[in-house]
Structure 1
Amino acid sequence: MTSNANNITPRNTVLNADCISAMRSFERASVDFILTDPPYVTRFRDRQGRTVTNDDNGRWLRPAFNQMHRVLKDGGFAVSFYGWNKVDLFMDAWKAAGFRVVGHLVFRKRYASSARFLRYEHEQAYLLAKGNPTLPAHPIPDVLDFPYTGNRLHPTQKPTEALTPLIEAFTKPGELVLDPFCGSGSTLAAAQKLGRDWIGVELDAAHSETANRRLAWLQQRGRAAA
């Protein structure tokens, strides 16, 4: 979809919406960095029986990453978590959108999230590039620690401590970070703490409300400290 003069990319807000529709309303090349943890297309169910919206199909994969590529600035980066047993679907969507795969990240856990043929003690993500970005002056390691969150706010909650180095490495203060599958807002919280602007989109109304409350508390805390 071609952007027009009426398209505006909001800042510092969480949208309860389908991310594909939401991003279509954003201005082209208006986002500096994307950091997201989309559904893994694995029909995930945690020990409490909680599930993840749209984790039972991959129909959203291509259109969602197509819109991410459209709204990302040329020379920008995106980091996407993915499910290892569905990597073919994710890789197809990334490449079809126009992203180049330029790195792989492993997040090491001190616990096993599950165990079958192996004990699963890591998460993983790919570093994607739009165009030909400038090499970072101080590249971060491709293996990072992944503290346990307890998944209190979301069934697949990511720790802000694992996301902070990525935002710090690939953005500058005041730049805009997008998470189109923002869940409970971990990416947004990390961006807020680092002085970046942020925009989150979340389809599930309850998780969207959790993210809104979380970010409102951080913003109030920041104003009180100023």
Structure 2
Amino acid sequence: MSPARPRVQDGHLVFEVPALPNGILQGDCLDIMPTLPAASVDLVLTDPPYICGYRDRAGRTVANDNRADWVAPAFHEVARLMKPGSLCISFYGWTATDTFFGAWRAAGLRPVAHLVFCKTHASRSGLFRGMHENAFVLAKGHPSMPAEALSDVRGWTYTGNKLHPTQKPVEELVPLIRTYCPAGGVVFDPFAGSGSTLVAAKSVGCRYLGIELDATHAATAEKRLC
């Protein structure tokens, strides 16, 4: 990936950021993100591991879900890649809220909204039945207001987790991208899983780039994007 190229515009030095390719990159986002140009992403929409040791009914797990040392360096790079005035919408595990919040603050990202996605089924049961997902909306700088703001209480379509143990529904991601990414902008997901964010971005005519550590999930995402 070539670096940003400087040029003079109206007497000021500005940088032309190389266009990111559409697609999915297989590998560790901590290795790949530093190779991407700064200020090249219009919206980050991502579902990182929740740091909760998740295991589904079939015994499937999520890579790096049992450790937290990746969180701060990953979101440091995410913030570097975001354009000024852009948003990062990140799902997170509520049991690791302190870890995620500390990483976001350290990266210079400012919480501007909190989303709750209401499920019609319980994904777990204990003292309470777990029937929602959470996501924080984080700003780099001061984002522009949308023409029509979405509700921060959202619906949820159950995917059956057929392609990934924590597969997110494309139907619920599309409105977020359509509302908070400029037309034709770049949507980035450094924890792409089976590629739901990328599929949603493609469906509304945005450019997209994802990174996925697991080779099998990366291959699934690539097939969905064909």
Q: Which runs of 5+ in 2 are unaligned?
A: 6-16
Q: CA deviation at 1:53?
A: 0.3
For the 8 Å contact 1:11–1:176, the answer to whether it is kept is: no
Structure 2 counterpart of 1:95, from 105, 121, 128 = 105
Residues 1:48 and 2:78 are matched in the alignment: no
Residues 1:18 and 2:28 are matched in the alignment: yes
Structure 2 counterpart of 1:173, from 166, 170, 183 = 183
2:58 is paired with a residue of what secondary structure?
coil
Residues 127 and 187 of structure 1, relative CA distance in 2, 3 Å threshold = same
For the 8 Å contact 1:9–1:26, the answer to whether it is kept is: no
Structure 1 Cα separation of the partners of residues 57 and 18 of structure 2:
40
Residue 224 of structure 1 is matched in structure 2 by none
Residue 144 of structure 2 is matched in structure 1 by 134
Structure 1 Cα separation of the partners of residues 38 and 221 of structure 2:
25
Structure 1 counterpart of 2:126, from 106, 109, 116 = 116
* Cα offsets for 1:113-161 (capped at 9, x unmatched): 0101100000010000001111222110001111110000000000011
Residues 1:160 and 2:170 are matched in the alignment: yes
TM-score, normalised by the number of residues in structure 1: 0.92
Residue 204 of structure 1 is matched in structure 2 by 214
Residues 30 and 51 of structure 1, relative CA distance in 2, 3 Å threshold = same
For the 8 Å contact 1:178–1:200, the answer to whether it is kept is: yes
Q: CA deviation at 1:9?
A: 5.5
Q: Which runs of 5+ in 1 are unaligned?
A: 217-226
Q: CA deviation at 1:173?
A: 2.5
Structure 2 Cα separation of the partners of residues 96 and 9 of structure 1:
27
Q: CA deviation at 1:4?
A: 4.0
Residue 143 of structure 1 is matched in structure 2 by 153
Structure 1 Cα separation of the partners of residues 74 and 111 of structure 2:
17
Residue 12 of structure 2 is matched in structure 1 by none
Residue 125 of structure 1 is matched in structure 2 by 135
What code does the residue aligned with 1:44 have?
A: Y
Extract structure 1 runs of 4+ deviating beyond 3 A. Answer: 3-9
Structure 1 vs Structure 2 CA RMSD: 1.4
Residues 5 and 129 of structure 1, relative CA distance in 2, 3 Å threshold = closer
Residue 81 of structure 1 is matched in structure 2 by 91
Structure 1 Cα separation of the partners of residues 36 and 18 of structure 2:
5
1:164 is paired with a residue of what secondary structure?
helix
Structure 1 Cα separation of the partners of residues 78 and 90 of structure 2:
11
Structure 2 Cα separation of the partners of residues 9 and 44 of structure 1:
36
* Cα offsets for 1:42-79 (capped at 9, x unmatched): 11000000000000100100000000000000000000
Residue 185 of structure 1 is matched in structure 2 by 195
Answer with 132-141 or 31-40: which moved more.
132-141
For the 8 Å contact 2:54–2:62, the answer to whether it is kept is: yes
Structure 2 Cα separation of the partners of residues 9 and 35 of structure 1:
18
Q: CA deviation at 1:8?
A: 5.1
